[in-house]
Structure 1
Amino acid sequence: MHRYLAASSYIDVDHPEIQQLARRLASESEGKLDCARRCFEFVRDQIRHSSDYRLNPVTCKASDVLRHRTGYCYAKSHLLAALLRANGIPAGLCYQRLAVGDSGAPYCLHGLNAVYLQDFGWYRIDARGNKPGVAAQFMPPQEALAFAIREAAERDLPEIWAEPLAVVVEALTRYPTYDQVLAKLPDIELLPRL
């Protein structure tokens, strides 16, 4: 579990502002499960999704997401992982591959988290931010993610990564404005299903 508790370049658990917020959320909590819920709800509700709100700058590092109070789903997942890890709760990064529009190509990755909960094991949560048609919740053991898989080319990727995928970091660090990222959302090629 060590790698799911570690600080890194983009999940900068040791940043003073991350540490301060993590302590505050923990102090308002009644145990680890409640702390995980509070961290999730803070990121979901207090950090605005860059595309939904048309906000710059584009953020990637957890502390930048917190400082600017905005981020794409990927960046929001970095902040949530940092807050959870700062509270001693193992957290990783997960991805879905989804259609950008209603169906069919183009496709893009969607970033979310997995948190290790003592009574439930690994549990996926999606702090993307709710809006009409999107209602992600923290309700272990039942998942309540922002998006469901609707077609064959979409996929829930089963891995739990300790660090963000390179293609995600590249998109968030290469383009300076939310609309440039929106035009070049990261994607990966998937093997066909057998």
Structure 2
Amino acid sequence: MQLIQETPDLSAYLAADEVIDHESPVVRKTAAQLAAQAEDSYAYARLAFEFVRDTVPHSEDSGDPRVTWRASDVLEQGTGICYAKSHALAALLRAEDIPTALCYQKFDVVHGLVAVRFNGAWHRQDPRGNKPGVNARFSLDGEQLAFPVDPASGELDYPTLYAVPHPAVLGALQNARDREHLWKLLPAAL
């Protein structure tokens, strides 16, 4: 699949904002701890991916009713759905100057993941969290995402790489009272 940058300006995929708040103390502290264990930016990206995938439970899997959307809140509270976990991973990667985009897939509802830029190309990564039937891995040599799409069933990979969260995604997260309410607000398409 051909991934398409929403903006040609690569610096947009390094920027901090209210959601991907990589200048916040908790993101900076976590990034520094991970960077101390990494010999290069690739190793750092893999460690950051595994940290978010494995230490921040997906709230549906854990039964956590809290809804997070800001990267620092995801890291502080240790919970989030796919979108929130993607925001946290994007913040950790951007904190170490690794261009990171947000991207989406369409199933019954929209699923969120990220793309990282290495060696002049974008590579999608899915920090959703593994469970039986889901085995996402960090890879620059072929995608190992949580969920493959089935075009015959109307599922699709959106090709656009967003510098900021899609408004439909962010609106659902910000307007949800709790995870149960969030499930009623999840976008079915972008």
Stretches of structure 2 lacking an aligned partner (at least 5 in a row): 1-9
- Greater per-residue strand proportion: 1
- Verify the 8 A CA contact 1:167 1:187 in the aligned structure 2: no
Q: Which residue of 1 aligns with 2:87?
A: 78
Distance 2:64 2:43 in 1: 30
Which ranges of structure 1 fall in alignment gaps of 5 or more residues?
A: 99-106, 190-194
Decide which of 10, 16, 19 is 2:19's aligned counterpart. 10
Number of residue pairs matched by the alignment = 180
What amino acid does structure 1 have at the position aligned with 2:117? Y
Q: Which amino acid aligns with 1:158?
A: P
Q: How does 1:64-143 map to 2 (within 5 A)?
A: 64-98=73-107, 107-118=108-119, 121-143=121-143
- TM-score by structure 1 length? 0.90
Higher mean displacement: 147-156 or 64-73:
147-156
| Residue deviations 1:86-140 (CA, integer Å, cap 9, x gap) | 0111101000001xxxxxxxx210000000113x621000000000000000122
Pair 1:19-2:28 in alignment:
yes
Match of 2:168 in 1: 167
Counterpart for residue 103 of structure 1: none
1:56 Cα deviation from its structure 2 partner:
2.7
How big is the shift at 1:53? 1.1
State the distance in 1 between where 2:82 and 2:141 align: 22
Which aligned segments of 4 or more residues in structure 1 are displaced greater than 3 angstroms?
none
CA distance in 2, matches of 1:29, 1:49: 25
User: How large is the Cα RMSD of the aligned pairs?
Assistant: 1.1
* Contact 1:91/1:114 (<8 A) preserved: yes
> Counterpart of 2:145?
145
* Mapped partners of 1:16, 1:63: distance in 2: 8
Tell me the SS of whatever aligns to 2:117. strand
Residue aligned with 1:139, SS: coil
Task: For residue 54 of structure 1, report the CA deviation from its aligned partner.
Answer: 1.4
Task: Report percent identity of matched pairs.
Answer: 46
